[in-house]
Amino acid sequence: MQQFMYYVTHLEAIMMPIGTAIFVPALIVLMLSLLWIAFQSGVVVYEIIRRHLARRKLDVNTSASELQSMMRAGNRTGTTGVLDQFRYGPVLPVVTDGLTAGDYSRIHAAKLLNDAEQKASRRLESTRVFSRIGPLLALVTTLIPVSPALVALSSGNVEALSANLIVAFSSTVIGLLVGAGGYTISVIRERMYEQDLSDLEYVLERAGV
């Protein structure tokens, strides 16, 4: 009972070990998040370049007319050729691959477009979540080293004070970088995927699918 009352009146005796135990895992997650955002930055640059090269030759009105003509003529090879123009990127092949199987019904096309939207949403969430996690991890890994830094300050240990503050401020920068990177990548991808799905849906509607 006496020990329990001690912990009740000295909550810092419980909170300090908990904060210290959280710090290292949070720091590891923060560094892994930075690596993931760096990797996704390279991936999105590749997506942008590939999309730019593919769309430079693409005209949605022409593609819609060609697709309509090929479908009316029953030319599966020609139909596949028109749909292949939309095979760039990670999302649109969900629709084009499904249609080249031979089922051009409206309900099937709607299902494929919905599946493509779901895939786009999953890809967006893989980076969008870091726009929230990054600042949170920055806050956690910044505040925890402040406590030992204040202790070092009170005892006149300048070396320990500076070491803890360096870690705290570095974590802040990295966490904000993760958050900004995740948000930027998500915004870029969202605009690209929305435009691509809108164009493909327009082509299919014009072609009578």
* Structural domain includes residue 131: yes
- Cα(114)–Cα(116) distance, integer angstroms: 5
DSSP E strands, the chain: none
CB atoms inside a 10 Å sphere around CB 147: 16
What does the pLDDT read at residue 30? 93
* Structural domain includes residue 59: yes
What does the pLDDT read at residue 122? 93
* Structural domain includes residue 13: no
pLDDT tens sequence across 37-59:
999 999 999 999 999 998 888 88
- Is residue 63 within 8 Å of 82, Cβ to Cβ? yes
Position 128 pLDDT exceeds 60: yes
pLDDT tens sequence across 65-84:
888 888 887 778 888 888 88
For the chain, how many structural domains are there in total? 1
- Cα(192)–Cα(184) distance, integer angstroms: 13
pTM check: above 0.75: yes
SS3 59: coil
* Structural domain includes residue 3: no
What does the pLDDT read at residue 7? 53
* Structural domain includes residue 10: no
pLDDT-derived band at 14 (thresholds 50, 70, 90) equals low
Give residue 59's domain range.
23-207
- Cα(171)–Cα(64) distance, integer angstroms: 51
| Angstrom distances, CA of residue 19 to CA of 6, 138, 142, 188 | 19, 14, 11, 36
- Cα(13)–Cα(45) distance, integer angstroms: 49
pLDDT-derived band at 192 (thresholds 50, 70, 90) equals very high
- Cα(60)–Cα(206) distance, integer angstroms: 10
pLDDT-derived band at 11 (thresholds 50, 70, 90) equals low
- Is residue 126 within 8 Å of 40, Cβ to Cβ? yes
* Structural domain includes residue 8: no
* Structural domain includes residue 14: no
pLDDT tens sequence across 160-182:
778 878 888 899 999 999 999 99
Position 10 pLDDT exceeds 90: no
What does the pLDDT read at residue 15? 67
* Structural domain includes residue 40: yes
